[in-house]
Structure 1
């Protein structure tokens, strides 16, 4: 037996140490990629690590991804380490391998941020940057409220007034879409998709080509937090409902799976999601991606924490008392304290991994 709670970590450094140790103990082939553009809060180097299990020519591959959104890596890392310590690699079906990608966005993980060192939301960055970017007129209308000059009661009250007015006109979900759907006009804003592929974008594409070139069926679970009821893991398929990969995901996960485009998900419709890279880099494989999104706190509380952190890094002082409070709050909003939530994470992850492995064996 193993302790689920001890598989989770309070910092990026602790998570990395636990992950590499657990992967080595389980017999994984570990590789590490240094992020040359970023350092941690104490000047430490930051790495994306992978662990591969199974034969090099495995035709079915399970891919578990942690830390696409930085601070959410506490959850994904804990799920990955739980799988490793529970004997997951030894239980893989014959001919099936697994690739674990740990801290895809190590900067965000280390600094308790959703974004990369470029202030980019990775799940908005995987667009074709040589073409025009999707417009988000809603964000333009509320951008000044999203990032005020100061962070105090007056500025927060004014932001609430702006958001309430927008919601009255467009609905609560319309407001959520305007804020979180992704934008490409305000580099200092939130949910910014960037103007070029980030280091994490380029690196995960290289990993896909190098580690999965022999695979013919790839099942991806990308771990996220911040939407939905506390501790519930929502299976979100962000591809078009008309896509073949959507039909496969539906066959694997059934009614448990939701769709932003289909209007059944807690997530707004977004473009440029990270898992798109795998189907683009592996054109000969059947790629079936889902995000496993765990609920934490209410949407206003979570978005408030994201806004506060964004203000802090652009206009505040990270080392101040206010800065420390903001950092503690965003970590809690995406990684709730206590054993109950962590145990719920692993229970759902274990179930979902089982479904994915069964799906990979189907024809």
Structure 2
């Protein structure tokens, strides 16, 4: 995100925030929150709900997918590495950005992002094949997001780069992020309590299934994608 410019708005998230991360965790309060979310989905549709929830927001610290107000340490580190290696001067760069949490269990979906546009998607499909997805085409398990890493690569490399997010599916449990955000937002003093450790452990298991089948699926797909990327670089793709 270029924080020198106005950040994107997400008024739809603001409408949902109190239900996505409810302060009250009693059964009755959670039922009310779930009912409000169900009503929003009914009125606006599933895609609109997913976009409101996930595309990023800059007004509710402690809420889901809060984008902050300045570059993070991780971003500054990435930019320093890119500067040290003079990545912006390269003729061709392929970026594989690893993520977990979306899509079928163990499957590594190769997602393109909006900043590279259709041309970026076509470059990726040439290298990695027709399994590459793009939200604008309705083929991705993700929605269009604010502040993706691809915005950075597009800014410094333009059409000399090919970006894919390698997204490995895990489980489907919408409460996981809500629980962890509730902990840090409303009960930060309990982060290291028994309850806090239970919540954080559940989040870790959700995004990193410690199962041999999942690990093997991740490794197999990664080896394939790495081989395709190297072949693409050798061929000038």
Normalised by the length of structure 1, the TM-score is 0.61
Distance 2:115 2:146 in 1: 11
**Which of 156, 168, 173 is residue 42 of structure 2 equivalent to?**
168
Higher RCO structure (Cα 8 Å, ≥6 apart): 2
For the aligned residue pairs, the C-alpha RMSD in angstroms reads 1.8
Match of residue 32 from structure 2: 158
CA distance in 1, matches of 2:43, 2:147: 27
Pick from 192, 213, 227: which aligns with 1:340?
A: 213
Determine which structure has the larger helix proportion and give its number.
Answer: 2
Structure 2, unaligned runs of 5 or more: none
Post-superposition CA distance 1:230-264 (Å, at most 9, x none):
10110001135745332211211221100012211
Change (3 A) 1:281 1:210: farther
Matches within 5 A, 1:90-129: 127-129=1-3
Residue 149 of structure 1 deviates from its aligned partner by: 1.8
Of the candidates 223, 227, 230, which is equivalent to residue 98 of structure 2? 223
Work out which of the residue numbers 177, 183, 198 in structure 1 matches 2:51.
Answer: 177
Is 1:149 the equivalent of 2:20? no
Residue aligning to 2:7: 133
1:255 aligns with 2:126: no
Asked if residue 330 in structure 1 is aligned to residue 203 in structure 2, the reply is yes
Alignment check: 8 A CA contact 1:221 1:289 kept: yes
TM-score normalised by length of structure 2:
0.91
* Aligned residues between the structures: 233
Question: Secondary structure of the equivalent of 1:347?
Answer: helix
CA shift for structure 1 position 146: 1.9
Contact 2:62 2:184 in 1 (8 A): no
Query: How much does 1:266 deviate?
Result: 0.5
Q: Residue 57 of structure 2 contacts residue 66 of structure 2 at CA under 8 Å; is this kept in 1?
A: yes
Check conservation: 1:205, 1:278, Cα contact below 8 A.
no
Q: How many angstroms does 1:155 deviate by?
A: 2.7
* Paired residue secondary structure (1:325): helix
SS in 2 for 1:261: helix
Deviation of 1:131 after TM superposition, in Å, equals: 1.7
Question: Following TM superposition, by how much is the alpha carbon of 1:282 offset from its aligned partner in structure 2, in angstroms?
Answer: 4.1
Q: Is the 8 A contact 1:235 1:290 kept in 2?
A: yes
Q: For residue 266 of structure 1, what is the aligned residue in structure 2?
A: 141
1:238 is matched with which residue: 98, 104, 113? 113
Q: CA deviation at 1:280?
A: 2.5
CA distance in 2, matches of 1:255, 1:198: 34
Deviation, 1:165, is: 0.7
Query: Residue deviations 1:159-192, cap 9 Å, x none?
Result: 2111101111122222111111111111121101
CA distance in 2, matches of 1:209, 1:279: 15
Q: Aligned partners of 2:207 and 2:20: how far apart in 1?
A: 19
Deviations 1:258-280 (CA, angstroms, capped at 9, x unpaired): 00122110101112102322332
2:181 aligns with: 310
State the secondary structure of the residue aligned to 2:146: coil
Pair 326,178 (structure 1): closer, same or farther in 2 beyond 3 Å: same
